[in-house]
Structure 1
């Protein structure tokens, strides 16, 4: 793109790039695939006669949605053969993302996992309608359905998500406090302190992608989760540190071994206790926690 920076098409694309990345990421759960979708969208956009485009933002969102849908259908087949639990690729996000409650909820690990339970078309419709407030006619053009069909899909997807999304919005300060207690307990290896901060029915999902050690299935229950975590962290012969960070719009923890990033742990907190832990160790998914991702709903 560097040799076309004065081109109006390039200026328009750059102006909306953060929005397009957010759309693609929420549909795919993968920053790497979202970047590929943006590249594909760009290559198609520069072939468009922009003088004939009435609403450039809507046109670009529609193009991005179509490319994301194509890729999502391919990714679903790959994920069926994935080793162990699949978790979204964590993104290092700026503090202002957490301040935008709607954006932070939409990219949270808990919500991204709920979106994984939708079909590709349901996910596209839900994301465009509920997150980005796109009109039914525009969504219909993006997913090649009639507006009436899109309304039905939106209703079905909304009901599905509402039944599975976290029950309550928790202020970041509450999540941070719970994670700080969790961090201290994990670093000191204190089982009781860990049990005190974990909800009895806590669920841990860990993603090693067959490359790093991880539980192949979700672990449920405070006792089992505590034993797994203390065993995983304690088995290292090297120095292990756990530091606070912010991923996907919320407080999280970065685990380092001898100064090298070993994994990122996001959490769901309810009633001041941890009810969900999402531990990403797959090194192929940790490339986007080194620099802040620019996300926006507008």
Structure 2
């Protein structure tokens, strides 16, 4: 199979693996590009028995290396770290994109951060991509038995809410749109009605832009925070609704540039968590639409 055809076949899969590992869009794209460049340089590609596994091995190991080299930067990161947002318009075809599943939600990606680099790789290859343990062992350089132990340990440590996968996208988008309208209207009671009392708001400015450096807890504090933010936005800003990390979200555009991207987590028909990325480095891959 020609490299160009392999690229079309496996690009989305490899990007989804790298992005889940890293939470960084541009780094994930660079690693995928590098994997195909390395494939092209092989003198006898016909000797590779499983090209897909070979490419996954390159992407996995490069992602592990990237995570280890970035560990110190993460330790001194200013405020809350959130993954780069993946943004699609509502009309995008979810069947054509590996990234529209619940497993790329902001909440889920943050759970993955609790795992070590190798644990994350083993967990993703098994849980998300259904690799058998022999292939995983070959990719990460561990024994079959060791990979089984790593997977079961990681799965216990990364509990998530399976009910969130069953939630209707249209219903969830309704909560997001109602919340945005209530904030724009300055309707405190409506905002409080949409939020769980113990809701949490996380923002990532990375020290590059003014943002809450610590999570904001409680519906009333979150409501007051958003009412303060909306009043400080310059005239001419616009709000767009989009699919953010597989779920409904909000993109705020100022002077033609994406300034804020919000995603939410809903439980019991109310918003439980709000995640806002404002760090311009994490929004540079997005274009206003």
The TM-score, its normalising length taken from structure 1, stands at 0.89
| In structure 1, C-alpha distance between the alignment counterparts of 2:12 and 2:221, rounded to whole Å | 40
Bigger Cα displacement from structure 2, 214-223 vs 85-94: 85-94
Name the residue aligned to 2:68.
73
Where does residue 296 of structure 1 map in the other structure? Answer: none
Distance 2:3 2:155 in 1: 35
Q: Which runs of 5+ in 2 are unaligned?
A: none
2:260 and 2:100 map into 1 onto residues whose CA distance is 24
Which of 217, 234, 238 is 2:214 aligned to?
Answer: 217
2:118 matched to 1:121? yes
Moved more, 146-155 or 39-48: 39-48
Alpha-carbon RMSD across the aligned residues, in angstroms, is 2.2
Does 1 or 2 have the higher relative contact order (CA < 8 Å, sep 6+)?
1
- Deviation of 1:15 after TM superposition, in Å, equals 2.4
- Of 13, 36, 61 in structure 1, the residue corresponding to residue 30 of structure 2 is 36
Aligned residues: 285
Does the 8 Å contact 1:9/1:50 carry over to 2? no
| 1:283 alignment partner, one of 271, 280, 285 | 280
Q: Which moved more, 1:217-226 or 1:228-237?
A: 228-237
CA distance in 2, matches of 1:185, 1:119: 40
Contact 1:91 1:288 (C-alpha < 8 Å) held by counterparts: no
Describe how 1:49-128 pairs up with structure 2 within 5 A.
49-93=44-88, 95-97=92-94, 103-128=100-125
2:10 is matched with 16
CA displacement at 1:289 relative to structure 2:
3.2
Moved over 6 A (4+): 98-102
Residue 221 of structure 1 deviates from its aligned partner by 0.7
Shift of 1:13: 3.2
Q: CA deviation at 1:9?
A: 3.3
8 Å contact kept, 2:100–2:247 = no
Find the partner of 2:230 among 233, 240, 244: 233
Structure 1 gap ranges (5+) = 1-6, 293-298
Query: In the aligned structure 2, how far is the partner of 1:245 from the partner of 1:168?
Result: 18
Secondary structure, aligned partner of 2:137: helix
